Amino acid sequence: MAREFEAVGVVGLGTMGAGIAEVFARNGLRVVGVEQDAAGVARGRGHLEHSTARATARGKLSEDDARALHDRVTMTTDLADLADVDLVIEAVPERLDLKADILAAVDKIVRPDVILASNTSSLSITELSVRTGRPGRVVGMHFFNPAPVLKLVELVRTVVTEQDVVDDMAAFARKMGKVPVVIGDRAGFIANALLFGYLNHAARMFEEHYATREDIDAAMRFGCGYPMGPLALLDLIGLDTAYEILMTMYNQSRNLMHAPTPVFKQMITAGLLGRKSGRGFYTYDSADSPKVVDDADTPGPLDAADGTARPVRTVGVVGTGTMATGIVEVLAKSGLDVVLRGRSDSKNEASLGALKRSLDKAVVRGRLSEEDREAAFGRVRATTNLEDMAECDLVIEAVAEELDVKRAVFETLDEVCKPGAVLATTTSSLPVIECAAATSRPGDVIGLHFFNPAPVMKLVEVVSTIATSPDTVATARSLCGELGKHAVFCGDRAGFIVNALLFPYLNDAVKMLEAHYASSDDIDAAMKTGCALPMGPFELLDVVGLDVSLAIERTLYQEFRMAGYAPAPLLEHLVTAGRLGRKTGQGFRDYAASR
C-alpha cells in the first residue's frame, strides 16, 4: 500500500521552490517552506502570490481556492519546523555542498521514515544520499519550470534507493497531476542531458558570429516549432545556472558537447545572467522582466545592409520532387512567373498534378480563392530544357542531395542564364561553395534552404559563401519578404543553423537509448512534457527518416570532426537493417504493427 503524504517540506523558495510549494498546496497538502532569512521568505511569498494571482486572473484558480492555497503554506527560516512533515524536497541553488549540507541537516530533524528528495537538475543523487543516514530513502525529484504548469517530473533512483520509495514517489507524482519518468542517476538525467548540449552549441554559434542571436532563435522556432529559441531559453534559465549544469555534465562525461563555451564565463563575470539580471544574450526592460528592449547585436555573417536587391519577376525551379513543387507553389501564389524544369514530361506532369491538388486543397480550406488558384496555376510553365531558364531573374535548384548532380546543374545554369541572374541551391547540408565553384559567377550563388512543406513552413535559411556578393544577399532577403517567409542568415558550413543544432541532439538521444538509460517512450515523453517540444526525438527521427538523419549526421561529423557528432552505432545498424522510419513502417517504433 502506497504511503500517504499529508505535509511536505520545501527548502529553498526561489522561483522553482515556490512553484513546487504551489503544486503541493494546490493538491490540498500542508506545506512548510524554509528559506535562510526573512528576505528569502518575503521573496518566496512574493513568487507564490504572483503565480496564484496570474492563475486567478486567467480563470484557472478561484479567489477562494487561492486563499485556501495560501493558508496551507507556512514559511519559516527554521529547519526545525520540518519535524512533522512526511516528505522534504530541497530546491536550493545547484551546488553540491549546499544541497548535501541541507539534506544532512534535515536528516537529523525529520522522522526515520520520511523521504528526502532533491530537485537537482544535474547533480549526483548518490553523492547527496550518502551524506544522510538514510540513503535508501533519498531520491531525485526534478520538476520543470514553471512547476505549476509543466507536467514532467524526473524521478531519479540510485543503486541503493528502496523500491517501495520509488513506487510511492511515482504514485505521489501522479496524484499531483504530474507525469513521472523513473531513471537512473547520471548527470543531466534525460531532459537536461539532451537539452544543454543543444543550448551550448547555440551559444557557440553566437560566440563565433556565425549567425545573430535573433536568427539562431528564429531558426529553431520557425524551423522546428520550438516554443523558444535556445538563446532566449538560456536567458530564462540563467546563464550561471546553465554554466553549472554544463560543468557538472562535462566533469562526469568529459563529452566536449557539454564543455561550456567560453562566452558563458565571460557573460557571467560581466554580470549578464539573463532575465534575472535584466541582460543576457538579450536586454530586458528590468530584472526578471520578459520584455526585450532593442539594443545593438553582434554581427552575423554577410548581411544585406550594403547590397542592392535585383528585381525578380521570373523564377526558375529545377526539380520536380516534393520540395521543388512546394517552392513552385509558394512562388506562383506570390505573383511570380515560374519556369519548372523536370527531366521528363512525365515528371513535369506529376509535379503539376501535385501542384494543382495542393492549390485545390487551399481553396477548400478557405486559404485561397478560386480566382487566385487559377491565376497561380497559370503562372507556371513546365519544360524539360534547362536552356529555358535563360531569361529567369533567379533560378532555384531543388534536385537530389547529391553533390555531383548539383554541380552539373550549376555548370549548365552558368552557361544558359543571363548575366546578373541569381543562382540558388536548396541544399540542407552540402557546401554551397561547391555549387558556386562550378560557375564563373560565384558572387551570384547563394543557398536558399526552404523547409518542407514549403507552402506551410515560414523559415528560409539564407546561406552566404565566402564569395557571395552583398547584392545577391539583398536579393534573397527581398525575395523572402515577398514570399512571406522569415529569412535567417548564416555562413556556409554543414547543417547551417537548424540541422547543426537539431541533429546532434537527436544523435545524443539515440546514444542514450543505446546505453539502456531510458526507453524511447520515456525519452520522448521527457522532451515533449518537460521541454514543451512538439515531438520527441524518436518520433522526429522516424518522421525525417533514419537514412536521411544518418546522412546529415555523417556530414556534420565530417565537417566538425568532434566525437560527439559521430553517428550512434544503433542508428547505423537500423539503417543497414532497412528500418528507416515511417516510410518503411519500422524505425525506432513499429508502425505496421500499430495499424
Q: Which residues are catalytic?
A: 121, 142, 154, 192
d(CA 535, CA 104): 40
The residues, ordered by sequence, that sit 6+ positions from 329 with a Cβ below 8 Å of its Cβ are 355, 358, 359, 376, 454, 455
Give whole-number Cα distances, 182 to 58, 81, 100, in Å.
33, 30, 22
Give whole-number Cα distances, 367 to 333, 364, 454, 480, in Å.
11, 8, 15, 20
CB 304 within 8 A of CB 477: yes
- ∠ CA 321-326-328 to the nearest 5 degrees? 95
Judge residue 281's burial from the number of C-beta atoms within 10 Å of its C-beta, 0-12 exposed, 13-18 middle, 19 or more buried.
Answer: buried
The residues, ordered by sequence, that sit 6+ positions from 1 with a Cβ below 8 Å of its Cβ are none
CB 520 within 8 A of CB 589: yes
* CA quadruple 119, 120, 126, 130: dihedral, nearest 10: -70
Q: What count of Cα atoms within 13 Å lies in the side-chain half-sphere of residue 268?
A: 14
What number of other Cβ atoms are within 10 A of residue 284's Cβ? Answer: 20
CB 269 within 8 A of CB 207: no
Amino acid, single-letter form, for residue 10: V
d(CA 86, CA 82): 9
d(CA 266, CA 280): 11
d(CA 180, CA 174): 7
Question: What is the rounded radius of gyration, in angstroms, for the C-alpha atoms of the chain?
Answer: 27
